Chain A
Amino acid sequence: MKHIKTLNTRSLQESMKKGGCGECQTSCQSACKTSCTVGNQTCEKSR
Chain B
Amino acid sequence: MVHQYRNNGYNIVLDVDSGSVHVVDDLVYDVIGFLKDDPSKTCEEVMARFAGQYTRAEVSEAMEEIRTLEQNHQLFSRDIYRDAVLDFRNHPTVVKAFCLHVAHDCNLACRYCFAQEGEYNGERALMSYETGKAALDYLVSHSGNRRNLEVDFFGGEPLMNFEVVRKLTAYGRELEKTHDKHFRFTLTTNGVLLDDEIMDFCNREMDNVVLSLDGRKEIHDRMRPSRNGKGSYDLIVPKFQKFAKQRKELGKQYYVRGTFTHFNLDFASDVLHFADLGFDQISIEPVVAPADAPYAIRPEDLGIIKEQYDLLAQEMIRREKEGRGFTFFHFMIDLTGGPCVYKRLSGCGSGTEYLAVTPWGDLYPCHQFVGNEEFLLGNVTQGVKRTDLVSTFKSCNVYARSECRDCFARYYCSGGCAANSWNFHGRIDSVYEIGCELERKRVESALMIKAALAD
- A residues near B (Cβ < 8 Å) are 1-13, 15-16, 18-20, 22-44, 46
Assess the B188–A33 pair: CB atoms within 8 A: yes
Assess the B94–A22 pair: CB atoms within 8 A: yes
Residues in chain A near residue B288, CB distance under 8 A: 34-35
Assess the B61–A2 pair: CB atoms within 8 A: yes
Interface class of chain B by DSSP: mixed
Closest to A19 in B: B340
Size class of the contact patch on chain B: 35 or more
CA distance A13 to B345 in the complex (A): 13
Closest to A7 in B: B21
Other contacts beyond A16-B341, A19-B340: 7, CB < 8 A: A12-B411, A18-B340, A29-B150, A34-B417, A35-B435, A40-B334, A40-B446
Given contacts A7-B23, A33-B367, A42-B338, contact A25 B65 (CB under 8 A): no
Judge if B361 is at the interface, Cβ distance under 8 Å.
Answer: no
Assess the A16–B84 pair: CB atoms within 8 A: yes
Pick the contact of A8 from B287, B335, B438 — CB < 8 Å? B335
Closest to B366 in A: A28
Assess the A24–B339 pair: CB atoms within 8 A: yes
CA distance A7 to B14 in the complex (A): 10
Assess the B22–A4 pair: CB atoms within 8 A: yes
Residues in chain A near residue B84, CB distance under 8 A: 16
User: How far does the Cβ of A41 sit from chain B's closest Cβ, in whole Å?
Assistant: 5
Residues in chain B near residue A5, CB distance under 8 A: 22-24, 454
Question: Which of B125-133, B348-356, B377-385 is the contact stretch?
Answer: B348-356
Assess the A3–B61 pair: CB atoms within 8 A: yes
CA distance A9 to B376 in the complex (A): 44
Assess the A19–B61 pair: CB atoms within 8 A: no
User: How far does the Cβ of A18 sit from chain B's closest Cβ, in whole Å?
Assistant: 7
Chain B, 429-444, CB within 8 A of any chain A CB: 435, 438-439, 443
Assess the B19–A37 pair: CB atoms within 8 A: no
Judge if B18 is at the interface, Cβ distance under 8 Å.
Answer: yes
A and B contact pairs by CB, cutoff 8 A, 22 listed:
A4-B65, A7-B22, A7-B451, A12-B17, A15-B341, A16-B81, A19-B339, A20-B88, A20-B342, A24-B148, A27-B414, A28-B348, A31-B210, A31-B257, A31-B283, A32-B285, A33-B188, A34-B420, A35-B416, A37-B412, A40-B329, A42-B338
